[in-house]
Structure 1
Amino acid sequence: MRDTSGRSAAVEAAIENELRLLDPEVRASPEVFDTFLHPEFTEFGASGARWDRESIVKVLAARPDPGGRATTTSRMRGVQLADDVVQLTFDTDTNGRMVHRSSLWRRTPEGWLLWFHQGTPFTPERAPAG
């Protein structure tokens, strides 16, 4: 099913969940953050670190996002790769730290969960137009 923007309901659900994960209130609550992660979650972070579900939740519990670290997103787009898989690509800016991001969301009986995420830092002058 497609909404009036031309995006499928699956893509819309993945975008909604991705934006919730970026919300400072959700990031400040490891218990809430954890509910968006697939049991097999993996991330290659912008820092170069590799994370799994347990390790990323543990880091958030140890140091929740401090105030003032609002993240803005741009160029978010999604593609439904299969009935149960959506890929999102977008850019984030957190206090001037720019990162290209890619996420894979999987539909489960619990809903759409983040299965894989990768962040790659960039500088605006080195980013291709478009």
Structure 2
Amino acid sequence: MDTPAQIIENELALQRPEIRRDRAAVLALLAADFVEVDADGTAWDAQGVAEAIASQPGYVMPTVSGMVATPLSPDVHLLTYRDETKAHSSVWIRGDSDRWVLRFHQQTRFPR
């Protein structure tokens, strides 16, 4: 699988309910120093995100569009996309064992 396709697949995995319920699976996709800034401006670390998303009852995977992975360097890619209510930006880095892990994610609400 080429790099952009792998990054997109990893991002989509983090949206799948069965992955989100599995803290270890989520943490395997996040860098140790991962940071997320959610749409409310709250910053989260890897453990906080794994705990929060594991306990979202009734979560439904959003419909996403416009996923584009842009290389910033050979080991860093920026992924941008939208869902029904937010714009998303993710920075993926090539981690240990040549695996792609999520280092930073930000959500921004947009007007309907």
Q: Same fold (TM over 0.5)?
A: yes
Match of 1:77 in 2: 68
Q: Does the Cα contact within 8 Å between 1:10 and 1:80 map onto a contact in 2?
A: no
Q: Indicate if the aligned counterparts of 1:89 and 1:100 stay in contact, CA closer than 8 A.
A: yes
Unmatched runs of 5 consecutive residues or more in structure 1: 4-8, 125-130
- Say whether residues 1:116 and 2:104 are aligned partners: yes
- What is the aligned-residue RMSD (CA, Å)? 1.6
Matched AA of 1:12 = A
- Looking at structure 2, the residues matched to 27 and 74 of structure 1 have their Cα atoms a distance apart, in angstroms, of 20
Residue in structure 1 matched with residue 25 of structure 2 by the alignment: 32
* Structure 2 portions without partners, runs of 5+: none
For the pair shown, which has the larger CA radius of gyration, 1 or 2?
Answer: 1
Return the TM-score normalized by structure 1. 0.78
Equivalent residues in 2 for 1:82-121 (5 A)? 82-93=73-84, 98-110=85-97, 111-121=99-109
Q: In 1, distance between residues paired with 2:15 and 2:59? A: 13
Question: Residues 68 and 107 (structure 1 numbering): CA distance in 2 closer, same or farther, change over 3 Å?
Answer: closer
Residues 106, 115 of structure 1: 8 Å contact kept: yes
Q: How many pairs does the alignment contain?
A: 111
Matched to 2:104, the amino acid is F
SS in 1 for 2:60: coil
TM-score (norm 2): 0.90
Aligned partners of 1:101 and 1:120 also within 8 Å: yes
